[in-house]
Amino acid sequence: MELFQLLLSGLASGCVYGLIALGFVLIYKATEAINFAQGDMMMFGAFITIWLTNSGYNNLPFLFSVPLMILIMGAFGFLIERIFLRQVIGQSQIAIAILTIALGFVLRFIAGAIWGHEPHFLESPMVGKNIYLNGAVLGLAEIFVIIVTVLLTVLLYFFFAKTKLGIAMVAASQNQLAAFYVGIPVKRVQSLTWVIAGILAGIAGMLFSAKGSVDPITGLLGIKAFAAAVIGGFGSLPGALIGGLIIGLIEPFSGRYLPSGFSHLVPYIVLVLVLILRPHGLFSQISHKKV
Amino acid sequence: MISKEVILRVENIESYYGPIMALKGVSLQVQKGSIVSVLGANGAGKTTLMKNISGVMDPEKGRIFLENESVEGTEADILVRKGVAHVPEGREVFPMLTVEQNLLMGAYTRSDKKEIRYDMELFCSYFPILKTRFEQMALTLSGGEQQMLAIARGLMSKPKILLLDEPSLGLSPKLVKEIFGILNRLNKDQGVTILLVEQNAKAALDIADFGYVMELGRIVLDGKSSELSEAKDIQEFYLGANQESQLGQKRWKNRKTWR
């Protein structure tokens, strides 16, 4: 039964990593830029959810504050692209990477200035509630995280596989030039990608705050999500989610069965192994252009 | 089939890549229902000309008219809506999308679902191989099939004019013949107006009604394609008429008459 509990908590944190990794991959595919602020955007989403929901702040009902947070984070992603990223289009990848790293710092300090540096907890309806199943104690928050992630994944799958706009976004990420030629408004598609990445970060933050404490440096776990994206093969959406789950599962199990201190090391050992044995990641999509 | 109505008129456009002047005042016009081909060697500025017309590049000077509406400097996606479809050099399909999705993306600017399906069937009947590959990813297609997909995708936007950039690139002579035959049929049955850029002068002149010859950013010769294929210069320099004997090389005065 202990195994089951470890599995559940691993899956739950894996879902959060996976959603952040999804944000990395989406933006990378659409704009060929890596948004190192994705983890900090997640932190920001968490704080906005807390700010809207908690009794000490706005005290809105949870079911109302979540859609509001999604709107805010969507607009937030849109504005970041418009104000900052669009200025550096055509610059080198390093310039864009440094810009997003700086954005991450700025977000961390803004969050610290507004909400302080002590840990915050989300007062969600799931807090402290458990389900008892054959002697196992399962946190309702963790089950909530997994269910929301599954629903979101299904939604995203349908969007990218079935809707015209979704296919156009995939198309533009595969061949930007050809997207121009068939009349897809590529710039608008890139804005939309940032909106979706903002929303994903917001939902990841909401889920993260539903099962643990949040402070301004929480966003640094974006590094683990980055590792997840690399393990999955940067550029593959299902790969990002599965990479996230792998990292999420490794942590509680290595924490339980390995000597103390090693649990934080193992995800990166896996990352290095994947990079050595399968440099393109587990689920890479490599296309060859025919001449 | 060819009407007097002019679909596309390019007037004296100049275009630069940084400090390099790629187009030095190019003018041409395309009549509705015709096939017009632009011939020229590598680096003559053919592709640049196409990019300027389809809005991927903006001309520095000069004007471009689409059915009497001035369109130079318009964004590429707006120009697709206005009726310019550009099939770029080297195919440029969406590699990880299926053939069907690629075709759907060609119709991105349209919203008439039934008509889109109808057109998909119609154009697939011209390129039957696409129908058999409908669910496959475009990257699994051969070079010739990808070229057919790119052309069909261009047609899916129901363009007033189809810009084709080197459809023969990297294809076997047999496939070139096949594709040009299909283009000819599309032009005759469906009335598709085509502006064709080619190095393969013979194939291009065979289906074209009118031709232009470009060199170093200028148009140096134009005429009906029947006249062009007969012109001595064209025969020598593009169609490979046998003059390259020792005697021929000595007669340096007989070099190109333009320039």
End-to-end CA distance of chain A: 57
Rounded to a whole number of angstroms, the distance between the first and last alpha carbons of chain B is 35
Higher pLDDT, A18 or A4: A18
Residue B247 distance to chain A (closest CA, Å): 38
What pLDDT digit, counting tens, does each position of A91-145 carry?
888 899 999 999 999 999 999 999 999 999 998 888 878 888 777 788 899 999 9
pLDDT value at A252 more than 80: yes
Closest chain A residue by Cα to residue B93: A178
Instruction: Give A78→chain B minimum CA distance, Å.
Output: 21
Question: Positive or negative, the Cα torsion across B195, B199, B201, B204?
Answer: negative
Asked if pLDDT for residue B35 goes beyond 90, the answer is yes
Structure confidence at residue A285 as a pLDDT band (50, 70, 90): low
Residue B161 near residue B145 (C-beta atoms within 8 A)? no
Q: Do A167 and B96 touch (CB under 8 A)?
A: no
- Please write the tens of the pLDDT for every residue from B37-75: 999 888 888 999 999 999 988 999 999 999 989 998 888
CB neighbours of B182 closer than 8 A, spacing ≥ 6?
B126, B127, B148, B151
What pLDDT is recorded for position B258?
A: 60
Q: What is the mean pLDDT of chain A?
A: 89
- The least confident of A189-198, A261-270, B76-85 is A261-270
CA–CA min distance A180, chain B (Å): 6
Mean pLDDT of the residues in chain B = 87
Homologous superfamily of B1-83+196-259 in CATH? P-loop containing nucleotide triphosphate hydrolases (3.40.50.300)
Which residue of chain B is at minimal alpha-carbon distance from A183? Answer: B77
Contacts of A177 in chain B (CB under 8 A): 56, 88, 92
C-beta pairs of B21-26 under 8 Å, 24+ apart in sequence: B21/B217, B22/B48, B22/B217, B23/B48, B23/B49, B23/B52, B23/B59, B23/B217, B24/B216, B24/B217, B24/B218, B25/B61, B25/B62, B25/B218, B26/B62, B26/B214, B26/B217, B26/B218, B26/B219
Say yes or no for a CB contact (<8 Å) between B86 and A181: yes
Residue of A178, A186, A291 with shortest CB distance to B94: A178
Q: Name the least confident of A51-60, A281-290, B172-181.
A: A281-290
Judged against a pLDDT cut of 50, whether residue A288 lies above it is answered with: no
Question: Phi, psi at residue A129, to the nearest 5°?
Answer: -90, 140
Higher pLDDT, A258 or B259: A258
CB contact under 8 A, B170 and A171: no
Interface of A with B in 148-187 (CB under 8 A): 164, 167-168, 170-171, 174-175, 177-186
pLDDT digits (tens, 9 = 90+) for A156-171: 999 998 999 999 999 9
Residue B130 has pLDDT above 70, yes or no: yes
Residues of chain A contacting B146 with CB distance shorter than 8 Å:
290
pLDDT score recorded for residue A131:
84
> Per-residue confidence at A289, pLDDT binned at 50, 70, 90?
very low
Out of B75, B76, B142, name the one closest to residue A181 (CB). Answer: B76
pLDDT at A291: 39
pLDDT in tens, B211-230: 999 988 899 889 998 888 88
Q: What's the pLDDT tens digit per position in A174-224?
A: 888 899 899 999 889 999 999 999 999 999 999 999 988 999 999 999 989
Mean pLDDT of A25-37: 89
What ipTM describes this predicted complex? Answer: 0.83
Summarize the confidence of residues A4-24 as an average pLDDT.
93
pLDDT at residue B207, rounded to an integer: 92
* Entry pTM: 0.84
> What pLDDT sits at residue A2?
82
